[in-house]
Amino acid sequence: MFDSIISMISGKYDAFTIEEFENKIVYTLVSNDRSDFEHIKNRLKERVGKSICLNSLDRYEIEVIDELGFNKIVFKKLL
């Protein structure tokens, strides 16, 4: 499900890595165009908002981070 959200908002990204933790999933996007990340943040906010509910059960908060030059989208499970 998260893959389809990433694909919907980030047409220019060639690849991404996925890190799964107990309460969050982190996507690190790979692109040569640094200015594109601002566009990604805006589209994510516009189309998805600050949180998303999956299967009517689990709600995830969405955070977009530029961490030491790495563009990350974090889906953090809300308890």
What pLDDT, in 10s, does the model give residues 40-79? Answer: 888 888 888 888 887 778 888 988 888 877 888 899 999 7
Write out the residue range of the structural domain in which residue 11 sits: 2-77
Pairing mode of beta strands 51-54, 70-77: unpaired
Res 61: pLDDT: 92
Distance between CA atoms of residues 58 and 23, nearest Å: 11
What pLDDT, in 10s, does the model give residues 5-33? Answer: 777 777 666 667 889 999 998 988 876 66
Q: What is the CATH number of the domain that holds 22?
A: 3.90.1070.10
Estimate to the nearest angstrom the gap between the alpha carbon of 64 and the chain centroid: 6
The domain total for the chain is: 1
